[in-house]
Amino acid sequence: MPELPEVETIRADLDPLLQGRRIEGLRIHKPDIVLGGITPSEFGRLLRGRTFLRVSRRAKYLLFELDRDTVLQTHLRMTGRFAIGPSLPGEAGFRHIAAEFRLDDGRTLFYDDVRRLGGFLVLSGEEWARVAARLGPEPLGRFSSGDLLRIFHNLRAPIKNVLLDQRRLAGVGNIYASEALFRAEIDPRRPAGSLTSEEARRLHRSVRRVLREALRSSGTTLRDYRAVSGASGQYQNRLRVYGREGEKCPRCRKTIERIVQAGRSSFLCSSCQN
DNA sequence: CTTGTACCCTGACCGC
DNA sequence: TGCGGTCAGGGTACAA
């Protein structure tokens, strides 16, 4: 479900609510969200009594940094969501609660995940560092168009697929890949290595602009994604091509097409994008 | 190394 | 109303 802007929105919501809170108890309702080959009760033993230092993000991972060198790594995949309550935003569709973390202020952190593709993994700081080292750079961090050009160098894979590869570039997913390529006027089928430095500059600018704008809009809500409060994002109203197959291109008025790449939909205007 | 495919899982939607 | 097929902001394991 969530790409960088959505995960970052959730991170910013959770951080002030969780800092300094201690986990008093937890309940796992769906054991398959506990990763790392441990049982839910072992998972509970590792986390009970731990205190949240901060909530951070890397790529599409949400990280609960706890005391005693403990990192709770979470990935929401397609349908994972968090809420904090005494009560749940029940009307917002929390009907598949997978885990509850009872906090020392009387509130509870809820994790809901219809498809249960998301999960939690308990790591040490060093173990997490090894995971993080395998991820590509953060596009909104110190990241130049030259860095992007080097990522693309000699790759024959379609540029769209490369943008989605988290080992090469972190945080971009299916929506924002299509949106950035449209704005940069680059065809998603182009071999990544064929981009000129001018095209890499355009794409660099587009990726950063789309992600920043989406972040300012609190993300894109198409189905399941919600902020921690239950509020929808707003960027779905500003998408130019994603999900708009058959509609007119906002630039040239030709018809927006949908194609399939690496088993996933890409949306483009083949007249504007070359 | 690179690239493509199957798979994980549930629910919404569409055509018949 | 039911049934089958398709699709969905994700990543991984494995094959070629």
pLDDT in tens, A241-258: 999 999 999 999 999 999
User: CA A176, C1' C9: Å apart?
Assistant: 9
Interatomic separation, CA of residue A158 and C1' of nucleotide C15, rounded (Å): 20
- Strand B contact at CB of residue A263, distance < 7 A: yes
Kindly provide the b/e burial profile for residues A190-221, where b requires at least 16 CB atoms within 10 angstroms of the residue's own CB.
bebeebeeebbbbbbebbbebbeebbebbbbb
Query: What pLDDT does A87 receive?
Result: 77
Q: Which residue is the nearest neighbor of C10, CA to C1'?
A: A77
Q: CB-based contacts with strand C under 7 Å?
A: A 1-3, 6, 59-60, 75, 77-78, 115, 117, 164, 166, 173-175, 219-225, 263-265
Between CA A80 and CA A107 the distance in angstroms is: 20
- Span between the terminal Cα atoms of chain A, in Å: 28
**Residue A156 approaches strand B within 7 Å at CB:** yes
pLDDT in the model for residue A92: 63
A158/A144 Cα distance (integer angstroms) = 21
Percent of chain A at pLDDT above 70? 98
Q: How confident is the model at residue A39 (pLDDT cuts 50, 70, 90)?
A: very high
Q: Is the CB of residue A96 inside 7 Å of nucleic acid strand B? A: yes
Asked whether residue A246, judged by its CB, lies under 7 Å from any atom of the DNA or RNA strand B, the reply is no
**pTM for this one?**
0.97
- Token pair, residue A257, equals 């097409």
Buried b (16+ CB within 10 A) or exposed e, A123-144: beeeebeebeeebbbbbbeebe
Q: Which residue has the higher pLDDT, A200 or A94?
A: A200
**pLDDT for A105-143, tens place per residue?**
999 999 999 999 999 999 999 999 999 999 999 999 999
pLDDT class for A89, splitting at 50, 70, 90? low
Q: Is A156 exposed, middle or buried (0-12, 13-18, 19+ CB in 10 A)?
A: exposed
Q: What is the pLDDT of residues A138-152, one digit of tens each?
A: 999 999 999 999 999
Q: Which nucleotide is nearest to A167 (CA to C1')?
A: C11
pLDDT of residue A88: 74
Dihedral class, residue A68 (left if φ above 0, else alpha if ψ from -120 to 50, else beta): left
| Residue A90 or A7, more confident | A7
Active site residues of A: 2-3, 60, 264
| pLDDT score recorded for residue A91 | 59
SS3 assignment, position A117: coil
Is the confidence at residue A66, as pLDDT, over 70?
Answer: yes
- A24-45 average pLDDT score: 96
Longest dimension (CA), chain A: 59
Q: What is the pLDDT of residues A173-185, one digit of tens each?
A: 999 999 999 999 9
Amino acid making up residue A190: R
- A111 CA → B16 C1’, Å: 39
Across chain A, mean pLDDT equals 95
Could you give the CA distance from residue A132 to residue A215 in angstroms, rounded to a whole number? 22
* Chain B bases closer than 7 angstroms to a protein Cβ: 2-11
- Phi/psi of residue A203, nearest 5 degrees: -70, -40
Q: For A67-92, what is the mean pLDDT?
A: 89
CA A155 to C1' C16 (Å) is 18
